[in-house]
Amino acid sequence: MTSIAEESPRRLRLAALDDPLPRPTLVLAAAGIAWLGTGALVLSWPDAQELERTRLLGALSLAFGTLQLAAYAGGWLFARLARLGRFAPWLIVLALWLTAWEIVTAKLDLLPLPFFPSPQAFVEVYTDDWRRLGESLLASLMLLFRGFAIGAALGFVAGVALGWSKRAGYWIHPLMRLVGPLPATAWLPLAFFIFPTSAAASTFLIALATAFPLTVLTWSGVAGVQSAYYDVARTLGANSRFLVLRVAIPAALPHVFVGLFMGLGSSFAVLVVAEMLGVKSGLGWYLQWAQGWAAYANMYGALLVMALMCSALITLLFRVRDRLLAWQKGLVQW
């Protein structure tokens, strides 16, 4: 006679065999129809003023809607396509928002230009100015990588030293309490005066913004390691180097990644300010240039690229965290 605890998993397995693939949701089909409607509206309703990318915008909307309907149809055979249904409500909202935006700007001309460009203007930014926008994106990534890498390395070493050595804490802690809480942007005038180039000054500011939160969190992680771990390692003959590299640092890694997340967020703000004020390249410079020429469509397009860049970098950091800290996967959500 089987118990209830044994019977429940058996029923779940039988149910999984009866319905092996998730069924595609009708909301995904509704999202595809909504995007087809958006494309039809863009192409059939004449613009209030002559716009160059109306046909391209309508074609993209129709193609996107067709892909969603194809995903809905293929979802009956492929489980991965069926899982796209979880994005369907957002796709519907985006289609409705794009439709409303198109009506009040391109079709009825209700919002003043150039502050409220039409969707066609956004498409024109990415088709006509993609080279300059791509070069600005690459310059921002290179500058951010240099500053973040230097700041992360210095912050990690300082945090481990603070958590492990009282002598290092005696010298580093007062400096950290004095300099760390200051916003990195407060060092802008001094940094651009001391360093020979604006790129070097911007790298220093990004490194400074990254190092402080990482130092504090790494310090907390190393100092919070249970003494029992050290006792067991010493019993097995471990020396001080082994205790630091194989006990303290691995145990402090969850705190280290939180510090990296906070440092990366701080570095984004410093990156934009540094590029606007000193560096003659990058997305921050592109924003400043677009605002100076009243090219608000270019400015909004660069903001979208910047948002995608920041989100992608944070997502990559969390993927690395989940890979290295598999036992804590899902504990911190992004």
Instruction: Give yes or no: residues 82 and 153 share one domain.
Output: no
pLDDT above 60 (res 2): no
**3-class DSSP state for residue 68?**
helix
Tokens of 287: 């924003």
Q: In this structure, how many other beta carbons lie within 10 angstroms of the beta carbon of residue 207?
A: 23
Tens of pLDDT, residues 219-247? 999 998 888 888 888 888 888 888 888 88
Instruction: Give yes or no: residues 32 and 146 share one domain.
Output: no
Instruction: Give yes or no: residues 101 and 170 share one domain.
Output: no
Tens of pLDDT, residues 135-184? 999 999 999 999 999 999 999 999 999 999 888 888 888 888 888 888 88
> What residues contact 99, with CB distance under 8 A and at least 6 apart?
37, 38, 41
Tens of pLDDT, residues 50-90? 898 999 999 999 999 999 999 999 888 788 888 888 899 99
Cα 187 from Cα 192, distance rounded (Å): 9
Tokens of 72: 């809905």
Residue 31 is given by DSSP the state H
Cα 147 from Cα 127, distance rounded (Å): 31
Q: Name the region of 215 (left: φ>0; alpha: ψ -120 to 50; beta: rest).
A: alpha
Enclosing domain of residue 43: 4-111
- Whether residue 271 contacts residue 140, with contact meaning beta carbons closer than 8 Å, is answered with yes
- Whether residue 208 contacts residue 187, with contact meaning beta carbons closer than 8 Å, is answered with yes
Q: Name the region of 237 (left: φ>0; alpha: ψ -120 to 50; beta: rest).
A: left
Cα 2 from Cα 8, distance rounded (Å): 10
Instruction: Give yes or no: residues 205 and 304 share one domain.
Output: yes
Instruction: Give yes or no: residues 84 and 181 share one domain.
Output: no
Looking at 61, 84, 111, the residue that finishes a domain is 111
pLDDT above 80 (res 327): no
Tokens of 290: 């677009």
- Whether residue 140 contacts residue 309, with contact meaning beta carbons closer than 8 Å, is answered with yes
Most confident of the following: 59-63, 86-90, 276-280, 324-328: 59-63
Cα 235 from Cα 228, distance rounded (Å): 10
pLDDT above 60 (res 260): yes
Q: Does any domain span residue 136? A: yes
- Whether residue 206 contacts residue 153, with contact meaning beta carbons closer than 8 Å, is answered with no
pLDDT on residue 23: 72
Number of domains the chain is built from: 2
Cα 103 from Cα 106, distance rounded (Å): 6
Task: Give the number of residues written for the chain.
Answer: 334
**3-class DSSP state for residue 46?**
coil
Instruction: Give yes or no: residues 239 and 286 share one domain.
Output: yes
> What residues contact 13, with CB distance under 8 A and at least 6 apart?
none
Q: Does any domain span residue 184? A: yes
Tens of pLDDT, residues 7-36? 454 554 444 444 455 677 889 999 999 999
Looking at 111, 145, 180, the residue that finishes a domain is 111
Q: At what angle are helices 283-292 and 249-277 packed, to 10 degrees?
A: 30
Instruction: Give yes or no: residues 68 and 141 share one domain.
Output: no
Instruction: Give yes or no: residues 178 and 255 share one domain.
Output: yes
- Whether residue 205 contacts residue 144, with contact meaning beta carbons closer than 8 Å, is answered with no
Q: In this structure, how many other beta carbons lie within 10 angstroms of the beta carbon of residue 286?
A: 28
Instruction: Give yes or no: residues 278 and 137 share one domain.
Output: yes
Mean pLDDT of 88-97: 96
Instruction: Give yes or no: residues 68 and 208 share one domain.
Output: no
